[in-house]
A and B are shown apart, each in its own frame.
Chain A
Amino acid sequence: MGASFPVLQPVSEPIPENPAARGAARARWPWPLALALFVLFWQFGEDFAKSAFSYPRAFEIPAARWIGRATKWLVDEASFGLFTFTDLTRFLAEIIDVPYRVALGLLSSGLLSGQGSSAVQHLPPLSWLAVLAIVALIGHHAGGARLAALVTACFGFLVIFGQWTSAMVTLASIVVAVPIGVVAGLLLGLAAWRWSFFERVLVPVLDLMQTIPVFAYLVPVLVFFGFGPTAAIVATLIYALPPMARVTILAMRSVPAEIRDLGNMVGCSRRQMTWKVMVPSAKDSLMVGVNQVIMLSLNMVIIASMIGAGGLGFDVLAALRRLDIGAGLEAGLAIVALAVALDRLSQAYAEKAGRPAAGLPASGGLVSRHPYLLAALAIVVATFLAGLAVPALQSFPESWQVSTGTFWSEVVRWINVNFFDTLEAIRNVILLNILVPLKRLLGDLPWAGVVALLALSGYRLGGLRLAALVGALSFLIAATGQWEKAMITVYLCGISVVFACLIGVPLGILAAERERLWRWLQLVIDTLQTLPSFVYLMPVVMLFRVGDFTAMIAVVAYAVVPAIRYTVLGLQRVDPRVVEAGRAMGCTQRQILAKIKLKLALPEILLGLNQTIMFALSMLVITALVGTRDLGQEVYIALTKADTGRGLVAGLSIAFIAIIADRLISAGANRIRERVS
């Protein structure tokens, strides 16, 4: 599955040799000393340095208010001379809205005139039979009969399980969002490739777009574009576009220099160079970006429904709110079915782009030149006429539909009735003995001390620049008054990551040696990754009710995937010759694992840890729905109040935590890698 997730790109900046850091590393004293100082300060410092424990309110940076005011100014007053900012957002909304209405008309609502409930339907939408047949045709065109069967089965699932209406609404927004995202990403990437100053501006923006939790920018999008499908598509675009821009920059760079020389030698103008030489030569890599845009758009389906996307995402969200696990699971699986179908289709087209075409005859009649197009048209007409005669062919009758919803609800109820005491005991033990004490401990720490410790680790791992970055970001979290909530985020994230690693790393070690186990495990983690993250929440909430423990379980289930995957990859990538040498020296299996494989795989495993943290943070925001008290909750509250400043500040704080963790761990991994190779 080519699915991808809201995670930070691992940053692998080469860590510059830093003689000062080297010297410090040689001297062993800084850590014990620093820790001792920290503990002393923490225990006895509160009396004489109060402001180091709780950031003084008077010095707080009122970032939320500034942002709020700036938003208000943008909406009410900002003007670019000829047009106002509001005109601009309205214009953008219109660009998205027109194709969306066409797509929605085709797939879901039919051709309407009039507004709201007084709308009159002139033409029905494409019937389920027509969509199924057209999807099969596209599948056949892209990858032959097998692919056609697969995508038809996926869409068939939607029909049979009664998800059709919602699925078509979702599909309509995907069909609009993906081309816009691809084109915009391509143009941005091309611009960055062409003008290096633009790249210098764009890349940090892309970094930020990918680290800020989606919730945070839902708020400004909501303020600027209003509640509805248009705003949802805008949010989807912000989320799904960065990888396309990145892939474009990379793809342009990797076009061989000779091809560029060729373009110049035949006398291409700049435009010809871009569109006739560079873009077609990079088509294979660009298709990877297209696939990413599709998958990320589908990832956004549920979150986007919070600002009015409707469709399957809304169904999941509604089911979650009324704790209807069956309905939620089915709608969630319907999203997976859509994702699988679209993913396979786009991958097949990517492969086809790389392969020479069989070559349809350029001459000949209309039929032989456009067989697929004509077949599709024939299907549309035939199913339209059939739909008039037999209504069941127009919209799939409810009595034919199947639902497993009640079954799942029954399962959960049964578990609850029979195992309530056991589950409750597990929950309480972990909650009282681990979660609560840890939460209290982290909450008590003086912020100034933590900032200093972070900066010290930054210095030891990557020199002054990293120390300054880490220190500044953590200070900003405190200075904007987010410290307490940030600590709850850190505690929830930290404990989840520990559990995820405790489960994931041993599993990875086991699976790395056992081909069959790994194959099964891969299937499981692929499914875990493709399931919309909200789907995890429901069964957990039903078993453990709302609260930190529930949030932790959901986060662990989601974040265990990279822990397993990177461990396996790291171990499998260990040079077999080194292992052979170990065996020749008479190492036991255990020694080979502990002394050779794990040591060499450590950088990969650390990268896995990095990804685990990123996954955990992105899931943590979603668990705000089940009543955590962390930054995610702050963002969620801001969303319901449409408070841009509050939402962005909390969102940025989460992004800062992610960046701090990412840079520190990457620096550590680089350091180890340098030593190993």
Chain B
Amino acid sequence: MASSEPKLVCRGVWKIFGAGGRSLAGPSAARLTSAELRAAGAVGAVRDVNIEVREGEIFVIMGLSGSGKSTLVRCLSRLIEPTSGDILFNGENLLAASEARMIEIRRHQMGMVFQHFALLPHLTVLANVAFPLEIQGIERAAREERARRMIDLVGLSGRENAFPRELSGGQQQRVGIARSLAAEPELWFLDEPFSALDPLIRREMQDEFLRLQSVLKKTIVFITHDFDEAIRLADRIAIMKDGEIVQAGTPEDLVLNPATPYVAEFTRSVARAKVVKVAALMRPLNGTLPPTSIRASAPVAEAAPLFSQGAETLAALDGAGTPVGLIDRAAVVDVMMRG
């Protein structure tokens, strides 16, 4: 699970498109509404964003289209130059880095997956995956060897010599994922990676993504417009609206304590039982230990079927299997009934 080491810190980042952006950005503009910005001839795509991404966690930035999430992720990788603010990656301020240093960082420490895959049409699957290594000047045999391993990792072995347009959307995105991992980055950006896929394939790819992450343990910034996807994948979620972060926290936080009506709008339709963890409902141990048990980190929905055998109370266990608390049928039913 996530350690508390911050890998990527984003402090007071602004991106204002249009004339006079630089003079508008900054703490003084924090109070300006987007209407006022527009009146000044500018569009505030990212407004005073402060986030911390910890090492090894999946940090999801969720927002509807036009909320500035794609601009934000491009600011984080400096594909777009932010108007003001600091972006610290491993403590180094990216906005102060030279172009050569940025190229160095992107080559070795960052990877990105794109919404529409961005595969190079003239290259085979193998050559596409090996492309970042080719750019680094790694010789053919070595880079192809590593690319084959990545293709194997995403389950596309046997399609090495196919061309992108011969693959289905899901397969193409597997290539995109393999390519972004080829350089073994520490920080992994995924910009709406599954949005262009059919719902069934999307589900499959999400599972695949979680499986990969359990092996790789990268630090991940994941962009999506799909709140269910965010809930499924995230360790922590930041919700964006009009360029601002409205609320950031664990899925459980958001569902149980939405900060604004806007956030509540998203969380309303989410089944709480799938988000709320057993740990949130448990009461202290009182000496007797019921025979049936469940992990404290599991969602409540997984506890529900265990009560069907007539048990009134379950034991909650931590990662090492030690009991840490008790959970009652009534508490679970209460969460389930509230939807």
- Chain A, Cβ-Cβ closest to B162: A356
Residues in B neighbouring A264, C-beta threshold 8 A = 77, 79, 106
Restricting to B61-119, which residues have a CB under 8 Å from any CB of A? 74, 77, 79, 102-108, 110-112, 114-118
Are A267 and B79 neighbours in the complex by a CB distance under 8 Å?
Answer: no
Are B135 and A281 neighbours in the complex by a CB distance under 8 Å?
Answer: no
Residues in A neighbouring B189, C-beta threshold 8 A = 265
> Given that A267-B135, A277-B120 are known contacts, is A262 also in contact with B112, CB under 8 Å in the complex?
yes
Across the interface, A267 reaches (CB within 8 A) one of B104, B124, B162, namely B104
The 7 closest A-B pairs by CB, nearest first: A267-B107, A356-B163, A266-B132, A267-B106, A258-B118, A265-B112, A262-B118
Are B79 and A280 neighbours in the complex by a CB distance under 8 Å?
Answer: no
Q: Mind listing 19 A-B residue pairs with CB under 8 Å?
A: A258-B116, A258-B117, A258-B118, A262-B112, A265-B77, A265-B106, A265-B111, A265-B112, A265-B189, A266-B131, A267-B104, A267-B132, A268-B103, A280-B120, A281-B120, A281-B121, A356-B162, A356-B163, A359-B124
* Shortest Cβ distance from residue A158 to the other chain B in the assembled complex, whole angstroms: 35
Restricting to B143-169, which residues have a CB under 8 Å from any CB of A? 161-163, 165-166
Total A-B residue contacts, Cβ distance less than 8 Å: 70
Residues in A neighbouring B131, C-beta threshold 8 A = 266, 276
> Given that A261-B74, A280-B120 are known contacts, is A268 also in contact with B111, CB under 8 Å in the complex?
no
Are B107 and A266 neighbours in the complex by a CB distance under 8 Å?
Answer: yes
Are B135 and A258 neighbours in the complex by a CB distance under 8 Å?
Answer: no
Residues in B neighbouring A356, C-beta threshold 8 A = 124, 162-163, 165-166
Residues in B neighbouring A272, C-beta threshold 8 A = 135
Residues in A neighbouring B122, C-beta threshold 8 A = 280-281, 283, 353
B183 on interface, CB distance cutoff 8 Å: yes
- Chain A, Cβ-Cβ closest to B117: A258
Complex-state Cα separation, A276 to B122, whole angstroms: 10
Are B107 and A259 neighbours in the complex by a CB distance under 8 Å?
Answer: no
B136 on interface, CB distance cutoff 8 Å: yes
* Shortest Cβ distance from residue A278 to the other chain B in the assembled complex, whole angstroms: 10
Residues in A neighbouring B77, C-beta threshold 8 A = 264-265
* Shortest Cβ distance from residue A437 to the other chain B in the assembled complex, whole angstroms: 59
Restricting to A245-272, which residues have a CB under 8 Å from any CB of B? 256, 258-259, 261-262, 264-269, 272
Question: Beyond the given A265-B111, A268-B103, A356-B166, could you list 15 further A-B residue pairs with CB under 8 A, ordered by the A residue number?
Answer: A256-B116, A258-B115, A258-B117, A259-B120, A261-B114, A262-B112, A262-B114, A265-B79, A266-B106, A267-B102, A267-B107, A267-B136, A269-B103, A276-B134, A281-B121
* Shortest Cβ distance from residue A369 to the other chain B in the assembled complex, whole angstroms: 16
Could you list which residues of chain B lie within 8 angstroms of chain A, going by C-beta atoms?
74, 77, 79, 102-108, 110-112, 114-118, 120-124, 131-132, 134-136, 161-163, 165-166, 180, 183, 189
> Given that A267-B103, A356-B165 are known contacts, is A276 also in contact with B79, CB under 8 Å in the complex?
no
Complex-state Cα separation, A560 to B180, whole angstroms: 56
* Secondary structure type dominating chain A contacts: helix
- Chain A, Cβ-Cβ closest to B163: A356
Complex-state Cα separation, A219 to B28, whole angstroms: 65
* Shortest Cβ distance from residue B127 to the other chain A in the assembled complex, whole angstroms: 11
- Chain B, Cβ-Cβ closest to A265: B112
Complex-state Cα separation, A402 to B21, whole angstroms: 75
Complex-state Cα separation, A630 to B159, whole angstroms: 66
Residues in A neighbouring B161, C-beta threshold 8 A = 359
* Shortest Cβ distance from residue B243 to the other chain A in the assembled complex, whole angstroms: 19
* Shortest Cβ distance from residue A259 to the other chain B in the assembled complex, whole angstroms: 5
Residues in B neighbouring A353, C-beta threshold 8 A = 122
Complex-state Cα separation, A272 to B131, whole angstroms: 11
Across the interface, A261 reaches (CB within 8 A) one of B107, B118, B132, namely B118
Across the interface, B79 reaches (CB within 8 A) one of A256, A261, A359, namely A261
Residues in B neighbouring A262, C-beta threshold 8 A = 112, 114, 118, 120
* Secondary structure type dominating chain B contacts: mixed
Most chain B beta carbons < 10 A, residue from A261, A269, A277, A281: A261
Residues in B neighbouring A259, C-beta threshold 8 A = 118, 120
- Chain A, Cβ-Cβ closest to B109: A267
Residues in A neighbouring B79, C-beta threshold 8 A = 261, 264-265
- Chain B, Cβ-Cβ closest to A262: B118
Residues in A neighbouring B112, C-beta threshold 8 A = 261-262, 265
Chain A count of residues within 8 A CB distance of the other chain? 21
Complex-state Cα separation, A269 to B77, whole angstroms: 16
Residue interface mask A512-549, B partner, CB < 8 A = 1 = 00000000000000000000000000000000000000
Restricting to A306-354, which residues have a CB under 8 Å from any CB of B? 353-354
Complex-state Cα separation, A256 to B124, whole angstroms: 19
* Shortest Cβ distance from residue B253 to the other chain A in the assembled complex, whole angstroms: 31
Are A266 and B135 neighbours in the complex by a CB distance under 8 Å?
Answer: yes
- Chain B, Cβ-Cβ closest to A264: B79
Residues in A neighbouring B117, C-beta threshold 8 A = 258
Are B183 and A258 neighbours in the complex by a CB distance under 8 Å?
Answer: no
Residues in B neighbouring A261, C-beta threshold 8 A = 74, 79, 112, 114, 118
Complex-state Cα separation, A359 to B122, whole angstroms: 12
Residues in B neighbouring A266, C-beta threshold 8 A = 106-107, 131-132, 135, 183
- Chain A, Cβ-Cβ closest to B106: A267
* Shortest Cβ distance from residue A358 to the other chain B in the assembled complex, whole angstroms: 10
Complex-state Cα separation, A36 to B186, whole angstroms: 80
* Shortest Cβ distance from residue B192 to the other chain A in the assembled complex, whole angstroms: 11
* Shortest Cβ distance from residue A258 to the other chain B in the assembled complex, whole angstroms: 4
- Chain B, Cβ-Cβ closest to A357: B163
Complex-state Cα separation, A259 to B79, whole angstroms: 12
Are A276 and B135 neighbours in the complex by a CB distance under 8 Å?
Answer: yes
Residues in A neighbouring B102, C-beta threshold 8 A = 267
* Shortest Cβ distance from residue B15 to the other chain A in the assembled complex, whole angstroms: 15
* Shortest Cβ distance from residue B211 to the other chain A in the assembled complex, whole angstroms: 24
Are B114 and A268 neighbours in the complex by a CB distance under 8 Å?
Answer: no
Complex-state Cα separation, A575 to B233, whole angstroms: 48
* Shortest Cβ distance from residue B332 to the other chain A in the assembled complex, whole angstroms: 45
Complex-state Cα separation, A161 to B163, whole angstroms: 45
Complex-state Cα separation, A259 to B111, whole angstroms: 14
Residues in A neighbouring B136, C-beta threshold 8 A = 267
- Chain A, Cβ-Cβ closest to B111: A265
Complex-state Cα separation, A269 to B102, whole angstroms: 11
Complex-state Cα separation, A353 to B123, whole angstroms: 11
Complex-state Cα separation, A261 to B71, whole angstroms: 12
- Chain B, Cβ-Cβ closest to A272: B135
Are A256 and B118 neighbours in the complex by a CB distance under 8 Å?
Answer: yes
Complex-state Cα separation, A625 to B129, whole angstroms: 61
Residues in B neighbouring A283, C-beta threshold 8 A = 122
Complex-state Cα separation, A344 to B169, whole angstroms: 33
Residue interface mask A64-95, B partner, CB < 8 A = 1 = 00000000000000000000000000000000
Complex-state Cα separation, A353 to B121, whole angstroms: 10
Complex-state Cα separation, A262 to B163, whole angstroms: 18
Residues in A neighbouring B110, C-beta threshold 8 A = 265
Residues in B neighbouring A256, C-beta threshold 8 A = 116, 118
Complex-state Cα separation, A261 to B106, whole angstroms: 11
Most chain B beta carbons < 10 A, residue from A281, A283, A353: A281
Complex-state Cα separation, A154 to B110, whole angstroms: 55
Most chain B beta carbons < 10 A, residue from A259, A262, A269, A280: A262
* Shortest Cβ distance from residue B301 to the other chain A in the assembled complex, whole angstroms: 37
- Chain A, Cβ-Cβ closest to B128: A262
Residues in B neighbouring A277, C-beta threshold 8 A = 120
Residue interface mask A414-434, B partner, CB < 8 A = 1 = 000000000000000000000
* Shortest Cβ distance from residue A222 to the other chain B in the assembled complex, whole angstroms: 42
Residues in A neighbouring B123, C-beta threshold 8 A = 280
Complex-state Cα separation, A265 to B114, whole angstroms: 11
Complex-state Cα separation, A2 to B163, whole angstroms: 28
- Chain A, Cβ-Cβ closest to B74: A261
Most chain B beta carbons < 10 A, residue from A265, A280, A353, A359: A265
Complex-state Cα separation, A264 to B110, whole angstroms: 11
Residues in B neighbouring A267, C-beta threshold 8 A = 102-108, 132, 135-136
* Shortest Cβ distance from residue A541 to the other chain B in the assembled complex, whole angstroms: 51
Complex-state Cα separation, A281 to B118, whole angstroms: 10
* Shortest Cβ distance from residue A77 to the other chain B in the assembled complex, whole angstroms: 44
Most chain B beta carbons < 10 A, residue from A267, A276, A283: A267
